[in-house]
């Protein structure tokens, strides 16, 4: 399946480029002090150095930080600073989603919609996206409206 697009039984799901989300995260970091464990990652993003961002983020993700796990998973999904690997991206997103990280729940749900890095599974997609929507995550609410007949 082509990157950036997913189809589920007649519904088309368009992915937003993760680079925009990462850029917004970097801009947000300029407005406030980053958490100490993500500072190296955010500094690297501000320089546009995705390789250094991935290197800085990996040990924080390994330590169990759900925000770092989410961001590392997204770097893997988009191939920013690392070789793209959808299965590994899904694994990192699962770790964050299991810790109630709503963006990770949403993104992992999208991966299940598309069968990207995981088997296509509408039920698991709906469960994950519903959890994010129930937590108030607006993109998840919008996607649920698209997916429901």
Q: Provide the residue-wise pLDDT of the chain in tens; the chain has 149 residues.
A: 334 434 334 444 444 455 445 444 544 444 445 577 899 999 999 999 999 999 999 999 999 999 999 999 999 999 999 999 999 999 999 999 999 999 999 999 999 999 999 999 999 999 999 999 999 999 999 999 888 76
Domains of the chain: 13-147 (1.25.40.10)
Q: How many CB atoms lie within 10 A of CB 112?
A: 24
For residue range 22-52, list pLDDT tens digits in order: 444 544 444 445 577 899 999 999 999 999 9
CA dist 78 → 30, 37, 62, 73, 149 (Å): 23, 22, 19, 9, 30
Q: What is the pTM of this model?
A: 0.78
């Amino acid at each position: 399946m082509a990157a950036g697009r997913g189809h589920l039984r007649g519904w088309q799901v368009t992915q937003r480029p993760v680079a925009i989300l990462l850029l917004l995260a970097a801009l947000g970091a300029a407005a406030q002090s980053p958490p100490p464990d993500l500072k190296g990652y955010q500094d690297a993003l501000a320089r546009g150095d995705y390789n250094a961002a991935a290197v800085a983020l990996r040990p924080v993700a390994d330590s169990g930080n759900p925000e770092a796990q989410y961001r590392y998973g997204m770097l893997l999904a988009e191939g920013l600073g690392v070789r793209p690997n959808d299965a590994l991206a899904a694994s990192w997103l699962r770790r964050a989603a299991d810790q109630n990280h709503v963006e990770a729940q949403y993104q992992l749900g999208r991966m299940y919609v598309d069968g990207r890095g995981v088997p296509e599974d509408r039920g698991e997609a709906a469960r994950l996206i519903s959890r994010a929507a129930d937590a108030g995550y607006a993109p998840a609410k919008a996607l649920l409206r698209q997916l429901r007949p």
